[in-house]
Copies of this chain bind each other. A is one copy, B any other.
Amino acid sequence: MYITTIFWGLAVQLYSFCFSSTSYRVRIALSIKGIDYDYLGVNLRAGEQRSDSYIKINPAKGVPVLVTDEGDEITQSMAILSYLDDLYPAPALLPKDSLAKARVLELCNIIACDMHPVNNLRILAYIQGELGARDEQKDAWYKHWIAEGMNAVEAQLSKHGFGDFCFGDAPTLADVCLIPQVTNALRFKCDMSAYPRAMAIYEHCIALPEFERAAAANQPDMIN
Contact = CB atoms under 8 A, between A and B. Distances in A.
Q: Among A59, A62, A83, A123, which residue has the most Cβ atoms of chain B within 10 A?
A: A59
Interface string A57-74: 011111000001000101
Given A98-B86, A99-B72, A130-B140, A79 B106 contact: yes
A141 interface: yes
B117 A75 contact: no
A220 to B, nearest CB: 26
A131 interface: yes
Interface string A145-178: 0001101100110000000000000000000000
Q: On chain A, which size bracket covers the interface?
A: 35 or more
A130 to B, nearest CB: 7
Interface string A72-114: 1011111110110011000000000011011101101110111
B144 A110 contact: no
Interface in A22-65: 58-62
A127 interface: yes
A105 B94 CA distance: 15
A113 B151 contact: no
A113 B116 contact: yes
A74 B109 CA distance: 12
Contact of A123 (B86, B99, B103, B118): B118
A74 B126 CA distance: 33
